């Protein structure tokens, strides 16, 4: 799990009308609280923060941090702003074109996209790093439309859970789930969402965000979304659902038999030898081995719950695998080496 506190350092993000409150402060505080809650209640989950203090982190590096950590989920935390003090509420975003097929991508949410993407202007040689992308030029967003997001299905699923759970939080207005061209989501190799937790330009939202108890409530909502998403995809957590119908004895027996059969099949198919490989991306869709996304490579597919990790250059010799990394990164810049042990993968430090 990777948590990305938006902005930081020389980039304050959105600023309140009185100039005393900064987006970067709220995002870091909420990110740290969420990290601690996940660690406390889900000790099996490794949480990485893209920043743990007030420092600048390039958008490109935020995705790279998550990718190198082998995160299975990415959430970027932000606070919205508007020229008017009237807009309020939260929204959740995934990478892509506008969610509304009748809406021009460049005519909606562009102010938000421009503001969140404009941080790259603080980076040296950003035109090279981001392939000539200019956040002040709407035409530059065209290249993001061409990016294929193999994790879109799961990103939308997690975004919907976040939007639903936040309804019970202190900020009640749900502005919906949107697909938008946010650069921070562009190069993540896992399901990823960006959440705008209220408007710093709205007096009511700002007062809510300043309150420590309310921030804990917001974190509880985000955690509830993570908890349900995790339960759906790896089955390692029991959901507390009100008025949940008890599973009948027959259904329970059938479930146990099916689970045992799957375990036996998986055991029979497993390879005992420890191997190493280079993970190029992950997603929920099983792609054929000749899919053009593999650029001619034949991948090894590692299942992690419902997430499929695509790995190439598999070998029992780590040195043999590592020697291919520089060349593979020319095609997959965020690829990284993993250790495959008993059908489980671990990032090779």
Indicate whether 275 and 336 sit together in one domain: yes
Classify 346 as helix, strand or coil: strand
Which residues are bridge partners to 49 per DSSP? 3
Q: Could you give the CA distance from residue 52 to residue 71 in angstroms, rounded to a whole number?
A: 17
Dihedral angle, C-alpha 34, 35, 37, 38, nearest 10 °: 110
pTM over 0.85: no
Indicate whether 286 and 160 sit together in one domain: no
Indicate whether 18 and 164 sit together in one domain: yes
Check which CATH number belongs to the domain holding 165 and give it. Answer: 3.40.630.40
Contact 117, 51 (CB under 8 A): no
Indicate whether 278 and 216 sit together in one domain: no
State residue 268's pLDDT score: 41
Give domain status of residue 23, yes or no.
Answer: yes
Largest CA distance in the chain: 65
Number of domains in the chain: 2
- pLDDT tens digits for 136-150? 555 444 444 434 445
Query: In this model, does residue 70 exceed pLDDT 90?
Result: no
The radius of gyration computed from the CA coordinates of the chain, to the nearest angstrom, equals: 21
Contact 314, 340 (CB under 8 A): yes
- Chain-wide mean pLDDT for the chain? 77
Indicate whether 191 and 281 sit together in one domain: no
Give domain status of residue 138, yes or no.
Answer: yes
Query: In this model, does residue 223 exceed pLDDT 90?
Result: yes
Indicate whether 189 and 116 sit together in one domain: yes
For residues 203 and 113, the model is more confident at 203
The range of the structural domain enclosing residue 341 comes to 270-347
Indicate whether 225 and 338 sit together in one domain: no
Give domain status of residue 89, yes or no.
Answer: yes
Query: Which of 193-202, 220-229, 257-266, 311-320 comes out lowest in average pLDDT?
Result: 257-266
Give domain status of residue 216, yes or no.
Answer: yes
Classify 165 as helix, strand or coil: helix
For the chain, helix, strand, coil in percent to 5 are: 40, 20, 40
């Amino acid at each position: 799990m990777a948590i990305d506190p938006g902005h930081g350092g020389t980039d304050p993000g959105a600023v309140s009308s009185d100039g005393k409150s900064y987006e970067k402060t709220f995002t870091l505080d909420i990110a740290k609280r969420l990290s601690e809650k996940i660690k406390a209640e889900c000790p099996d989950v490794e949480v990485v923060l893209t920043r743990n203090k007030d420092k600048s982190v390039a958008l490109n590096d935020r995705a790279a941090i998550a990718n190198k950590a082998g995160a299975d989920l990415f959430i970027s935390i932000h606070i919205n702003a508007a020229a008017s003090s009237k807009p309020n509420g939260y929204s959740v975003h995934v990478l892509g074109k506008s969610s509304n097929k009748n809406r021009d991508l460049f005519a909606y949410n562009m102010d938000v996209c421009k503001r969140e993407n404009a941080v790259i202007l603080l980076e040296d040689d950003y035109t090279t790093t981001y392939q000539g992308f200019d956040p002040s030029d709407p035409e530059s967003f065209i290249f993001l439309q061409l990016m294929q997001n193999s994790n879109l299905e799961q990103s939308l699923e997690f975004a919907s859970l976040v939007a639903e759970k936040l309804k019970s939080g202190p900020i009640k207005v749900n502005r919906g789930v949107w697909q938008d061209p946010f650069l921070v989501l562009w190069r993540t190799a896992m399901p990823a969402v960006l959440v705008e937790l209220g408007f710093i330009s709205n007096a009511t939202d700002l007062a809510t965000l300043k309150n420590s108890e309310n921030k804990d409530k917001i974190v509880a909502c985000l955690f509830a979304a993570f908890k349900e998403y995790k339960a759906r995809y790896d089955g390692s957590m029991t959901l507390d659902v009100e008025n949940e119908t008890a599973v009948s004895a027959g259904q329970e027996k059938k479930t146990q038999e099916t689970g045992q059969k799957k375990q036996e099949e998986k055991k029979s198919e497993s390879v005992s030898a420890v191997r190493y490989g280079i993970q190029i991306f992950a997603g929920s869709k099983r792609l054929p081995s000749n899919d053009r996304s593999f650029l001619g490579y034949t991948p090894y597919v590692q299942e992690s719950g419902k997430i499929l990790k695509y790995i190439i250059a598999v070998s029992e010799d780590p040195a043999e695998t590592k020697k291919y990394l520089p060349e593979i990164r020319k095609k997959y810049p965020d690829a990284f080496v993993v250790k495959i042990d008993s059908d489980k993968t671990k990032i090779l430090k």
